[in-house]
Copies of this chain bind each other. A is one copy, B any other.
Amino acid sequence: MAKTDRVEPARGDTGEEQGSLRQLMEDLPLWKRPGYLIRRVHQLHYALFFEEVGDSDITPVQYGLMTILSTNPDIDQIAIATKLGIDRTNVADVLRRLERAGLVERRQSEIDRRAKLVRLTRAGREMLSRHYPDMTRAQTRLLACLNSKQREAFLDALVTIIEANNQFGRSSLTNEAGGTETKSARGRKKRSTE
């Protein structure tokens, strides 16, 4: 810790208006910003997932996508994006890696030749089954610090937030099995100007 003992020579420009800015930032520090806290928890879940499922190269998103395939064989990529709540271009990226690993297979639909239908391979189903205990353990460990009442309230809050803000993002979640209610391509344009 001797590193910061010595004082680095100052270098002008330490303006006075910095005081009010500092005050502003201390009024709402990082650990009071939900967005910051959620990002941290998100990363922690990733770390826990890799620790539990680590001997395979599967990721949380890949496992989630394959979960959808296990109950929805032969759906197209946009339907996956809608159910998973990620962007459709990202679905294509994830599928490319899963296909390379032999866990899913894609084929052109014979009815709509724009669409590519995706399904799990046998290896994919085996992977999903094999790592199911690992996946659940990662989920459990993440919330192990909460008692069951807190845990339930926390999960409820997450679902509430998702449903309340569902209209944002390129792919809006459908509440599973519900109608695919066109993602409506809502506005959400931003930056790109200038």
Give residues in A with beta carbon < 8 Å to B: 1, 3, 6, 8-9, 11, 13-15, 17-18, 20-22, 24-26, 28-52, 54-57, 60-61, 64, 67-68, 70-71, 73-74, 83-86, 107, 109-112, 115, 117, 119, 121-122, 125, 128-129, 132, 135-136, 138-139, 141-146, 150, 153-155, 157-165, 168-169, 173, 175-176, 179-180, 182-186, 188, 190-191, 193
Contact status A74-B8, CB under 8 Å: yes
Q: Which of B37, B51, B146, B161 contacts A146 (CB 8 A)?
A: B161
- With A21-B125, A145-B160 as contacts: A169 and B70 at CB distance below 8 Å: no
Q: What are the residues of chain B within 8 A of A163 when measuring CB–CB?
A: 145
Number of this chain's copies in the assembly equals 2
Contact status A157-B165, CB under 8 Å: no
Contact status A38-B36, CB under 8 Å: no
Contact status B159-A125, CB under 8 Å: no
Q: CA A47 – CA B15 in complex, angstroms?
A: 33
Q: CA A68 – CA B184 in complex, angstroms?
A: 29
Q: Which of B21, B24, B39 contacts A60 (CB 8 A)?
A: B39
A-B contact pairs, 11 of them (CB 8 A): A29-B67, A34-B142, A35-B45, A36-B64, A42-B42, A44-B169, A47-B168, A50-B185, A52-B185, A54-B185, A145-B161
